[in-house]
């Protein structure tokens, strides 16, 4: 979608102020990626603050008790093996909960990015006049692969209700038809694809959607699943890791072929 957005924003029909700088599409994509990073940061900070407030409630009684426990014997300082084991178990349990929460936030961001992307490609399909069949087939395969990726992320979520799962599936299923309906409604009226408003809206939305998808693909999918911090991935056998990379490269190649006609 980034080349399409850059094509719209570099159209000669736009005012000269837009043609002075030829990389507005990349600029909007970069801003979208930075905004996604900030949203994810705020979400993680919110989760950490909620967890800290639940784990360490501050009360007057606890402060008085801390003041009384000034003198500690040497026996109390040296922890027993059982206590050390319990502390390690508590630490790993907290780390697991953090990983679960990070995966949940990443999945919600993936849902948001794919939903916005689906509306935009539905809008493009609804307003197209040439090669409708080829674009429809290409976008069908495109949505199929995106659905697999999103479904795999949702299936790995811990402690998620059936209602939330169904809502995420329904949102994904309806976004593309909604975009197509909007595109058809625009096309039936006085729609001029070369108007300034149409070029700017299509170019900015395509670039923003591309930036969101690039951030999600690199940060929330590839880095989270196969990066340095992916402990479960690094514990796999070398053969299975090799298959992971083969599947990744094959998926990139398949999406590139689909994007050739989309």
Q: How far apart are CA 151 and CA 162, in angstroms?
A: 14
Structure-block tokens of residue 141: 């395969």
Mean pLDDT of 31-38: 92
Q: How far apart are CA 38 and CA 215, in angstroms?
A: 12
The DSSP output letter for 192 is -
pLDDT band, very low/low/confident/very high, at 34 (cuts 50, 70, 90):
very high
Confidence check: pLDDT of 29 > 90: yes
Tens of pLDDT, residue by residue over 212-241, are: 888 888 888 888 888 887 888 888 999 999
Q: What is the pLDDT of residue 28?
A: 94
The DSSP output letter for 71 is -
**H-assigned helices in the chain:** 2-9, 16-19, 24-55, 60-68, 74-77, 81-127, 132-155, 162-188, 196-215, 224-226, 231-234, 238-261
Tens of pLDDT, residue by residue over 87-138, are: 444 444 444 456 677 778 878 888 888 888 888 888 877 877 666 777 787 7
pLDDT band, very low/low/confident/very high, at 83 (cuts 50, 70, 90):
very low
Q: How far apart are CA 5 and CA 68, in angstroms?
A: 66
The answer to whether the CB of 146 falls within 8 A of the CB of 262 is no
The DSSP output letter for 229 is T
Q: How far apart are CA 180 and CA 245, in angstroms?
A: 35
Mean pLDDT of 249-262: 79
The answer to whether the CB of 254 falls within 8 A of the CB of 246 is no
pLDDT band, very low/low/confident/very high, at 27 (cuts 50, 70, 90):
very high
Structure-block tokens of residue 34: 């930075």
Q: How far apart are CA 192 and CA 198, in angstroms?
A: 7
Give 149: exposed, middle or buried? Use CB within 10 Å, 0-12, 13-18, 19+.
middle
The chain-wide mean pLDDT, for the chain, equals 78
Q: What is the pLDDT of residue 155?
A: 84
The answer to whether the CB of 43 falls within 8 A of the CB of 105 is yes
Q: Identify the CA nearest to 216 among candidates 123, 105, 119.
A: 105
Q: How far apart are CA 210 and CA 32, in angstroms?
A: 8
Contacts of residue 233, Cβ cutoff 8 Å, sequence gap at least 6: 225, 226, 241, 244
Structure-block tokens of residue 57: 């409630």
Tens of pLDDT, residue by residue over 145-160, are: 888 888 888 888 877 8
How many residues comprise the chain?
262
């Amino acid at each position: 979608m980034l080349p399409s957005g850059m094509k719209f924003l570099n159209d000669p029909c736009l005012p000269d102020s837009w043609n002075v700088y030829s990389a507005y599409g990349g600029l909007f994509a970069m801003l979208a990626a930075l905004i996604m990073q900030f949203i994810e940061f705020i979400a993680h900070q919110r989760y950490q603050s909620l967890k800290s407030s639940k784990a360490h409630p501050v009360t007057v009684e606890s402060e008085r008790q801390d003041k009384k426990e000034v003198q500690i014997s040497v026996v109390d300082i040296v922890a027993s093996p059982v206590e050390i084991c319990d502390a390690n178990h508590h630490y790993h349990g907290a780390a697991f909960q953090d990983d679960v929460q990070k995966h949940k936030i990443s999945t919600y961001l993936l849902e948001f990015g794919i939903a916005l992307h689906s509306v935009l490609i539905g809008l493009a399909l609804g307003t197209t006049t040439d090669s409708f069949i080829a674009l429809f087939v290409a976008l069908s395969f495109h949505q199929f692969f995106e659905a697999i990726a999103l479904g795999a992320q949702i299936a790995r979520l811990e402690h998620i209700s059936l209602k939330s799962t169904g809502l995420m599936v329904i949102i994904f299923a309806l976004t593309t038809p909604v975009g197509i309906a909007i595109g058809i409604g625009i096309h039936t009226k006085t729609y001029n694809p070369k108007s300034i408003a149409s070029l700017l809206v299509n170019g900015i939305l395509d670039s923003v959607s591309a930036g969101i998808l690039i951030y999600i693909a690199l940060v929330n999918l590839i880095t989270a699943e196969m990066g340095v911090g992916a402990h479960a991935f690094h514990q796999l056998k070398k053969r299975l890791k090799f298959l992971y990379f083969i599947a990744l490269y094959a998926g990139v190649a398949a999406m590139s072929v689909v994007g050739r006609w989309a």
